[in-house]
């Protein structure tokens, strides 16, 4: 093997398996010189097995990172939406539309209640709050204008938020532990039970969801954090929407469980 090919192979192994494993592989004798035993070529088979394991590990890590970044982006969207709402409703100054203001902004229960129980429930000509004296339609139109005019700020805030998401909001190891949960946090559904329902021809959904658990926020108006997330089945996630609280849907989940148990009898 010429020097260029040897260098390329070395770089490939480092990229795929890391420096330590690449050095071990490089130190192994060439396959053509491997000694054959009564069990075949154990070193060659071990190398193949290690390679397959490492390729699977790399794939799983990429999938984890992709899911993590997707939830970080979704979490940002929630904070950004309420950040602008807070700015409009309380008629803040223009300097409050900044990266520094976004960083320190926190979603409060009072703001959530104002956003969900008044802004989204009242008619457009109604005042969102008698003290605030601002109409629903005015808020809606102002938010629409801000989302168009503040695209650069949105981009800066999004980048900053996602880059600091693991350190400040949701540790990646905690996110990994969340994904490892094997049953729905509401009705107890598992992948094994889904497979059993499939075998019994007792699944009636009309989409590709349902085969794996999904991440649900206990409070859909808060960010994706360790304390605000639970794994749940497609059916519970689809039914809970934004309407029910975590504790309310825990009770509803018991009724779902009764249905699943009945189908599985």
What pLDDT, on the 0 to 100 scale, is given for residue 57? Answer: 74
Identify the architecture of domain 181-264 in CATH: 2-Layer Sandwich (3.30)
What pLDDT, on the 0 to 100 scale, is given for residue 28? Answer: 62
Torsion angle defined by CA atoms of residues 61, 66, 70 and 73, in that order, rounded to the nearest 10 degrees = 90
What CA–CA distance (Å, rounded) separates 222 from 150? Answer: 22
Q: Where are the domains of the chain?
A: 3-63, 70-170, 181-264
What CA–CA distance (Å, rounded) separates 54 from 33? Answer: 24
22 confidence band (pLDDT: 50, 70, 90): low
What pLDDT, on the 0 to 100 scale, is given for residue 7? Answer: 65
What CA–CA distance (Å, rounded) separates 116 from 257? Answer: 29
73-90 residue pLDDT tens? 999 999 999 999 999 999
Q: Is the pTM of this model over 0.85?
A: no
In terms of Cα–Cα distance, which of 129, 109, 226, 121 is closest to 175? 226
164-208 residue pLDDT tens? 999 999 999 999 999 999 999 999 999 999 999 999 999 999 999
27-64 residue pLDDT tens? 665 544 445 555 555 666 666 667 766 777 778 788 88
């Amino acid at each position: 093997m010429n020097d260029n090919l040897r260098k390329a192979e070395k770089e490939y192994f480092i990229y795929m398996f890391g420096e330590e494993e690449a050095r071990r592989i490089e130190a192994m004798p060439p396959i053509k010189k491997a000694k054959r035993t009564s069990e075949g070529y154990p070193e060659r088979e071990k190398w193949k097995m290690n390679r397959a394991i490492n390729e699977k590990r790399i794939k799983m890590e990429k999938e984890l990172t992709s899911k993590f970044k997707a939830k970080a982006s979704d979490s940002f969207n929630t904070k950004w939406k309420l950040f602008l709402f807070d700015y409009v409703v309380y008629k803040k100054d223009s300097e409050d539309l900044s990266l520094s203001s976004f960083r320190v902004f926190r979603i409060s229960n009072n703001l959530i209640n104002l956003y969900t129980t008044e802004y989204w429930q009242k008619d457009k000509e109604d005042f969102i709050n008698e003290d605030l004296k601002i109409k629903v339609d005015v808020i809606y139109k102002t938010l629409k204008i801000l989302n168009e005019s503040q695209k650069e700020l949105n981009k800066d805030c999004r980048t900053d938020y996602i880059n600091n998401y693991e350190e400040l909001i949701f540790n990646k190891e905690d996110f990994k532990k969340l994904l490892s949960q094997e049953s729905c946090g509401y009705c107890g559904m598992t992948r094994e039970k889904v497979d059993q329902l499939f075998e019994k021809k007792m699944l009636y959904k009309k989409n590709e969801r349902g085969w794996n658990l999904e991440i649900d926020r206990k409070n859909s108006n808060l960010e994706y954090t360790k304390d605000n997330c639970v794994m749940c089945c497609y059916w519970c996630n689809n039914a809970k929407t934004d309407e029910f609280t975590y504790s309310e849907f825990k009770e509803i989940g018991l009724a779902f469980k009764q249905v699943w148990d009945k189908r599985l009898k």
